[in-house]
Structure 1
Amino acid sequence: MSPMQTIRTLEGAFVNLRGGAAGNIESDLVQENSVRNQKDLIRALGANKSEKAIQRSCRATDTVSDEKIEISTSVRKVSSWHQTPARIKDNEVIANSLRDLRPFSKTIGRVCQGMPNVMCSPVRKINSVDLKFRIKQVVDRLYYGHTINFDHESSEEDC
Structure 2
Amino acid sequence: MAARRNSRRSIVRRVLLVLSMVVGTLTVFSATSTPASAEAAYNFVIKNYATGDCLVRPQKVSDHVYLAPCSGSPNERWGSRCSDWLCYGMQFYNLANGKCLTGASPAPGASVGLFTCSTLGAREVWWGQVSDTLQAFRFANSHQSDQCLAQISSANVALEPCSLSTTQFWTILFP
Q: Same fold (TM over 0.5)?
A: no
The structure whose Rg is larger is 1
For normalisation by structure 1, the TM-score amounts to 0.21
Higher share in strand: 2
For normalisation by structure 2, the TM-score amounts to 0.20
